Amino acid sequence: MTIYETVTASVPTGNEKGHLMKTQKLPKYVAWNSGVQLYVTFDENPSVINGLLQLKFARTVLTHRSTPSCVSALLSRNAPEKSKSKAPIATVKLT
């Protein structure tokens, strides 16, 4: 899995000056496995030890990209293997 930090920015919408939209309540981090189309979200930077993602005390769920959510929409439009604009934080294995 590759861990990405979620960053949001305000985007102008409509024709009115100063009218902005910003997606909120996204998880801070997303670990994504493009091979099996699964991801895990985190509100805090996940623990990685020796290249292994530590989930022993985490309350996380593997979610398939086809599950409707803001994260799955981002992955379907900007899948990491298609976009090189954001560098991953780490590439890890699940433990």
Q: Which residue has the tokens 């091979």?
A: 35
For 55-92, the pLDDT digits (tens) are: 776 677 889 988 888 888 777 755 444 333 354 555 55
Alpha helices in 1-95 (DSSP H): 70-77
The amino acid at residue 72 is S
Find all residues with CB under 8 Å of 65, minimum gap 6, and list them.
Answer: 37, 38, 39, 72, 75, 76
What pTM was estimated for this model as a whole?
0.69
